Structures are given as structure tokens and as C-alpha cells.
């Protein structure tokens, strides 16, 4: 059995069963209501017969009750009982006592009133009481406005059952025919739904297998035909969309291949550039160092003689050479880092002595613009295991930047040992009261060649490599560098380094 057949049969069965159940319920309800209505009709006819008989007896016995002619009343009841017209019959006097009975003469002229007789005397309407095999009807007898007695009779109900049974059998036959017709209509209706659905399911499965040329053909001229038309439109649009997607995918693949080739070429060129610059480190540094060295030697010789004019010129040469050496050193350091050729050389050194040495070097930089350098460190910083030269380069970069962007202010260097979740760290903090850093520059601050003042009329020298290199060195030593700044109020740079630097970083 295929999956489609397994799915279509439950739906047809459900539709057929649902419609059949509805038909059965409707027919059963109609049949029951019909039987009930016929029973009520038969009962109403019997009540009319009983009421007519009671009225006749009441009219016949009125004068006799008024004069209390017991013999006439008794003969009247006995005659009715003898001819089996009634199953029960009594006449009551004005006190509710039985004065005549159709079947039992022993209860006549009892001193106690009959309860049913009293009930009849108290109402002017005809009362009916349905019992198992008879209907008892009774009413009071009135002459003028005076109640002189009451009459009650009973009529048999056995003849009602055959009539009701006949109606019930007729209803069952009609219900059976209606159920059969409803079942046939249900089968026809379910097939009119499931056959088009089966065709759509088969077409859907072929589409899932990759055949987008499938179409369904439904001629029922109803919602199923409309659904089939929409299905065909959707399939055609899907086929067109997939063809367009395949074309776009091919184009994107070609573009991706071109982009990957361009990226590989750019990465290869960048690696070649970094490798070349790293390899050229010695060739670039050596002649520049020689220029500076010879300039210094010549300056010393000039100081011994009287060559004041040449002294200033040589100082400018030395300053320009030192500045150029610093720029080249920064570029080469960054290139080495990018090329993966920068190696750490950690060593153990006393941190207090190290801070004093850094402060002595940074003092002239701070005083150049009239700034005050303040050193604030813990009394017992202890020893520090790290790359001494790289830590020194980080702090001098930060102090140099603070001195460059602060005019007649205060530059503060602090160092403290702290305990973090990952272990002991050394926190260095460099803060100044300079120009501050704009918010739009903060996110680019540690990128290479980014300057705080990028305008064409820059007041501050520099390549923008110092912070980038410092950031890379901190990462290599397993630390981090952070900054807080406010324009016009200054900046604070914080460096956290582990007490024992892992050389694997």
C-alpha cells in the first residue's frame, strides 16, 4: 500500500462516517419526535373521549344527585360497567362520598369522603390521571351555581400501544431508508473531495522528487478547482524562481571565486609586505643609526671649537634623524608583529626600579610643554616577569602621547599590584589633563595610523602607531589596555598585565 493510499482512505472514511452519523442522528431525532407527537395525539383523542363521556354522565346524573336518587345513579354506573364501556366509574355526592360504583358496590355510602372525589368537588375543570392501563377522568356536577356532586370514569389505554408500535415501525423503516441514502451520498461526496486531493498529493510528491513540470487538472468547478488552479500557478512560479536562483547562484559563485582570488592576492601581498619590512629592519636601522652617530660625533667636535652656526644645524639633523628612527622603528615593530616575527623575551626585574627608570626617561618629554610628571606607586611592587623592553615601550608611548597632547598640565603615572579572578596583575595607569579624545575617535584609537587630530592642519606630530603597537604588545603578553577620556578634561589609559607573562602569548 502506497503512502497516498494510506492517507486517502482515512479521509474518505472520516467524511463518510461523519455524514452518516449526522444523517442517523437527524433521522433518529425526527423519528422520536414523530412517535412522541403521535403518542400525544392519541392521548389527546382519548382525553377528548373521556371528557365527552364524563360530561354525558354528569348531565345524566345531575338531577339524581340533586335529589340523591341512589338507585338511578347505581343503575347508571352498573350499566356502563356491564357493557365494558369503562374500566372505572364512580359518582360522588356533595360531600365527596361514593354513591355509585360501576364494579364494587361494597364501598357505597361510606362515611369517609373519597380523596379524588373531594379533589373533583374543589375544581370546575375536568381532571385527567394517567395510570398504567387506563385513563381516569373526572369533573364536578353543577346545577346553576351549586355543586351537587362529581363523576369520574376510566377508559382503557391498551389499544394505544398497537397504534404507537405501528408508527414506530413506520419511522424505523423510513429512518433505515434515509440512512442508506445518506450513506450513498456520503460516499459520493467524500470521493468528490478525495480524488482531486489524491491527484494534488501525487503531483506534490513528484514535485518533491524534482519534477517541477507537474500540473493538476480538476474540473469540479468549485473551491477544489480553484485550489488546483492556485497550485498550478504556485508550481509555475516556483519553477521560474528556482531557475532564477540557479542563475544567481552561478553568478555569485563566479563572484565569490573572484573575491577569494582577490582576497588571497591581497593577503599574499600584505604578507610579502610585512615580511619584506621585517627583513629590511637591519638595513633600515643601521645606516640611520650611523647618520645619527656621526652627527653626534661631529656635534661633540664642534662644541670644542667655535662653530655656533653649525651646532644648531647639526642638532636639527640629529633631531630629525631620531624622529625618523622612531617612525621607522614603530613601522618595523608593527610589521614584525603582523608577520608573526615579533618574539617576547621575558625576564624578572624589580618593578620599583623599572618605574623610576621610565620616569627619568619621560621627564624631559613632560617638561617640554611645561607639564608636571607625577609618579604614584605602591611601596612594595615586588618583582615582575615580563619583556622589560616591551613594557617600557608601552609606558613611554603612553607618557609620550600624554606629554604631546597636554600643555602646562599634569601627567600621572601609577603602578599597583592587584588580585583578579585570573590571578595577580600589575596595573599601570597614565592620566593627563590634556585635550581629551572625541567619542568618534575612541573606537579607532588602537588601529594603526589613526591620530586624534586627523585634519590637514595638524598641530601634533606622530604616525598613529604608538597606541596600536602598545595594544598588540599587551595582547602578546596576555594583558589588555583600556582608555577613558573626556574632551577638554584629559584622558586615562590603563594597562593590565599578568605578574608572570606567559611567553606563549
The reported pLDDT for the residue numbered 146 is 86
Asked if 405 and 486 sit in the same domain, the reply is yes
CA-based nearest residue to 445, from 383, 390, 378, 491: 491
Domain of 385, in residue numbers: 344-498
Cα–Cα distance, 361 to 413 (Å, whole number): 13
Asked if 75 and 133 sit in the same domain, the reply is yes
The reported pLDDT for the residue numbered 3 is 47
Q: Is 149 helix (H, G, I), strand (E, B) or coil?
A: strand
Asked if 20 and 132 sit in the same domain, the reply is yes
The reported pLDDT for the residue numbered 428 is 94
The number of angstroms, rounded, from the C-alpha of 341 to the middle of its chain's C-alpha atoms is: 51
90, 117 contact by CB (below 8 A): yes
Phi, psi of 498 (to 5 degrees): -65, 150
- Within a domain: residue 366? yes
- Within a domain: residue 285? yes
- Within a domain: residue 429? yes
CATH number at residue 417: 3.30.565.10
235, 217 contact by CB (below 8 A): no
CATH number at residue 132: 3.30.450.20
Asked if 319 and 364 sit in the same domain, the reply is no
Measure Cα distances from 409 to 151, 255, 373, 431 in Å: 131, 56, 9, 11
Cα–Cα distance, 54 to 141 (Å, whole number): 10
398, 429 contact by CB (below 8 A): no
Asked if 314 and 439 sit in the same domain, the reply is no
Asked if 322 and 371 sit in the same domain, the reply is no
Q: Are strands 372-377 and 410-420 parallel, antiparallel or unpaired?
A: parallel
The reported pLDDT for the residue numbered 19 is 72
Q: How does DSSP classify residue 106? A: G
Phi, psi of 141 (to 5 degrees): -105, 125
The reported pLDDT for the residue numbered 429 is 95
Burial 408-430 (b: 16+ CB within 10 A, else e): ebbbbbbbebeeeeeeebbbbbb
315, 299 contact by CB (below 8 A): yes
Cα–Cα distance, 123 to 52 (Å, whole number): 18
Beta bridge partners of 112: none
Alpha helices in 129-222 (DSSP H): 160-208
16, 186 contact by CB (below 8 A): yes
The number of angstroms, rounded, from the C-alpha of 464 to the middle of its chain's C-alpha atoms is: 48
pTM for this entry? 0.42
Domain count, the chain: 3
Of 259, 293, 326, the last residue of a domain is: 326
The reported pLDDT for the residue numbered 457 is 37
Alpha helices in 379-497 (DSSP H): 388-404, 439-442, 466-476
- Within a domain: residue 339? no
CA-based nearest residue to 168, from 317, 4, 38: 38
- Within a domain: residue 256? no
98, 106 contact by CB (below 8 A): no
The reported pLDDT for the residue numbered 7 is 46
- Within a domain: residue 154? yes
Which residues lie closer than 8 Å to 472 by C-beta, 6 or more apart? 334, 337, 342
Of 265, 291, 326, the last residue of a domain is: 326
Asked if 353 and 483 sit in the same domain, the reply is yes
Q: Is 140 helix (H, G, I), strand (E, B) or coil?
A: strand
**Directed axis angle between helix 281-304 and helix 308-339, to 10°?**
160
Of 139, 162, 185, the last residue of a domain is: 162
CA-atom Rg of the chain in angstroms: 60
Asked if 406 and 480 sit in the same domain, the reply is yes
Phi, psi of 375 (to 5 degrees): -110, 125
Asked if 321 and 425 sit in the same domain, the reply is no
Asked if 381 and 489 sit in the same domain, the reply is yes
- Within a domain: residue 31? yes
Phi, psi of 415 (to 5 degrees): -140, 135
Q: Mean pLDDT in each 10-residue stretch from start to end of the chain (505 residues)?
A: 48 69 78 80 83 86 83 83 81 86 76 84 85 86 87 82 74 78 74 69 72 66 65 74 82 86 72 56 63 74 65 64 66 68 85 91 88 88 89 91 91 89 86 89 73 49 72 88 91 91 59
Measure Cα distances from 217 to 61, 71, 199, 220 in Å: 87, 95, 8, 10
The reported pLDDT for the residue numbered 339 is 66
The reported pLDDT for the residue numbered 209 is 72
Asked if 286 and 144 sit in the same domain, the reply is no
Asked if 318 and 442 sit in the same domain, the reply is no
3-state helix, strand, coil in the chain (%, to 5): 60, 15, 25
- Within a domain: residue 227? no
Amino acid at each position: 500500500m502506497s503512502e497516498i493510499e494510506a492517507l486517502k482512505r482515512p479521509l474518505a472514511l472520516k467524511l463518510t462516517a461523519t455524514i452518516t452519523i449526522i444523517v442517523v442522528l437527524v433521522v433518529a431525532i425526527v423519528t422520536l419526535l414523530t412517535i412522541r407527537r403521535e403518542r400525544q395525539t392519541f392521548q389527546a383523542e382519548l382525553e377528548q373521549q373521556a371528557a365527552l363521556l364524563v360530561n354525558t354522565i354528569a348531565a345524566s346524573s345531575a338531577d339524581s344527585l340533586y335529589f340523591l336518587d341512589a338507585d338511578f345513579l347505581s343503575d347508571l354506573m352498573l350499566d356502563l360497567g356491564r357493557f365494558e364501556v369503562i374500566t372505572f366509574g364512580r359518582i360522588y355526592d356533595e360531600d365527596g362520598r361514593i354513591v355509585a360504583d360501576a364494579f364494587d358496590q361494597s364501598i357505597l355510602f361510606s362515611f369517609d369522603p373519597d380523596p379524588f372525589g373531594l379533589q373533583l368537588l374543589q375544581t370546575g375543570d375536568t381532571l385527567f390521571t394517567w395510570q398504567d392501563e387506563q385513563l381516569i377522568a373526572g369533573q364536578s356536577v353543577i346545577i346553576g351555581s351549586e355543586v351537587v356532586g362529581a363523576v369520574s370514569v376510566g377508559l382503557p389505554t391498551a389499544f394505544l400501544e398497537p397504534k404507537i408500535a405501528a408508527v414506530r415501525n413506520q419511522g424505523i423503516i423510513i429512518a433505515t431508508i434515509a440512512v442508506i441514502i445518506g450513506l450513498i451520498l456520503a460516499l459520493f461526496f467524500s470521493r468528490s473531495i478525495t480524488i482531486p486531493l489524491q491527484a494534488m498529493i501525487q503531483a506534490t510528491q513528484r514535485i518533491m522528487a524534482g519534477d517541477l513540470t507537474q500540473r493538476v487538472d480538476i474540473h469540479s468547478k468549485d473551491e477544489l478547482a480553484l485550489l488546483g488552479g492556485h497550485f498550478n500557478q504556485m508550481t509555475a512560479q516556483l519553477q521560474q524562481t528556482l531557475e532564477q536562483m540557479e542563475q544567481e547562484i552561478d553568478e555569485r559563485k563566479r563572484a565569490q571565486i573572484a573575491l577569494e582570488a582577490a582576497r588571497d592576492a591581497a593577503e599574499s601581498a600584505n604578507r610579502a609586505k610585512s615580511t619584506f619590512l621585517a627583513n629590511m629592519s637591519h638595513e633600515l636601522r643601521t645606516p640611520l643609526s650611523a647618520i645619527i652617530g656621526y652627527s653626534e660625533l661631529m656635534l661633540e667636535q664642534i662644541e670644542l671649537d667655535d662653530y655656533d652656526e653649525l651646532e644648531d644645524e647639526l642638532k636639527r639633523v640629529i633631531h630629525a634623524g631620531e624622529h625618523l628612527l622612531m617612525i621607522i622603528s614603530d613601522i618595523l615593530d608593527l610589521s614584525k608583529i603582523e608577520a608573526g616575527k615579533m618574539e617576547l623575551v621575558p625576564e624578572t626585574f624589580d618593578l620599583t626600579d623599572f618605574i623610576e627608570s621610565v620616569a627619568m626617561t619621560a621627564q624631559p618629554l613632560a617638561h617640554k610643554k611645561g607639564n608636571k610628571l607625577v609618579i604614584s606607586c605602591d611601596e612594595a611592587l615586588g618583582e615582575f616577569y615580563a619583556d622589560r623592553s616591551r613594557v617600557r615601550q608601552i609606558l613611554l608611548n603612553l607618557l609620550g602621547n600624554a606629554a604631546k597632547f597636554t600643555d602646562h598640565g599634569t601627567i600621572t603615572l601609577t603602578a599597583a599590584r592587584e588580585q583578579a579572578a585570573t590571578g595577580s596583575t600589575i596595573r599601570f595607569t597614565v592620566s593627563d589633563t590634556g585635550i581629551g579624545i572625541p567619542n568618534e575617535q575612541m573606537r579607532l584609537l588602537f588601529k594603526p595610523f589613526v591620530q586624534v587630530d586627523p585634519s590637514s592642519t595638524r598641530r601634533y606630530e606622530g604616525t598613529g602607531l604608538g597606541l596600536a603597537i602598545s595594544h598588540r604588545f599587551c595582547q602578546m603578553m596576555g594583558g589588555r589596555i583600556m582608555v577613558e577620556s573626556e574632551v577638554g578634561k584629559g584622558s586615562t589609559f590603563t594597562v593590565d598585565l599578568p605578574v608572570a607573562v606567559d611567553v606563549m602569548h
